Amino acid sequence: MGEKGMATQKKRSGSLRSIFLHADGVDMLLMTLGFLGAVGDGASMPVLLQVTGKIMNNIGGATSSVADAFSHSINKNAVFMCYVACGQWVTCFLGGF
């Protein structure tokens, strides 16, 4: 084999398929979980910003006559924000694991 044959052989072995060539089922599972964790972690920030925007709108539009509705709305959004934060923790763990 000459130098030209070695160069073409190196070029072919750098494909995307070669990444998964020696991966078994556990490796594929871990890569899938990592991918899903990264997607979930990336999607959680816009969701948190949306909920924060709702809380700020509730604060800005509050009137003194409807204090119970204001408190209920703030509490509902705050609890949802806590749930999103817990989900974000799980997805960050999966992405890093």
Nearest residue to 43 (alpha-carbon basis) of 84, 93, 97: 84
Query: In total, how many domains does the chain have?
Result: 1
Whether pTM exceeds 0.85? no
Cβ neighbour number for residue 85 with a 10 Å cutoff: 12
Residue 39 is assigned to a structural domain of this protein:
no
Residue 97 is assigned to a structural domain of this protein:
yes
* Predicted pLDDT of residue 19: 75
Average pLDDT over residues 5-27: 70
CA distance 71 to 67: 6
- Asked whether the predicted pLDDT for residue 17 surpasses 70, the reply is yes
Residue 37 is assigned to a structural domain of this protein:
no
Residue 51 is assigned to a structural domain of this protein:
yes
Residue 49 is assigned to a structural domain of this protein:
yes
Residue 19 is assigned to a structural domain of this protein:
no
* Predicted pLDDT of residue 86: 92
Domain enclosing residue 95, as ranges: 44-58+68-97
The pLDDT tens digits of the residues spanning 36-86 come to 888 988 898 898 899 888 888 888 776 666 777 778 888 888 899 899 889
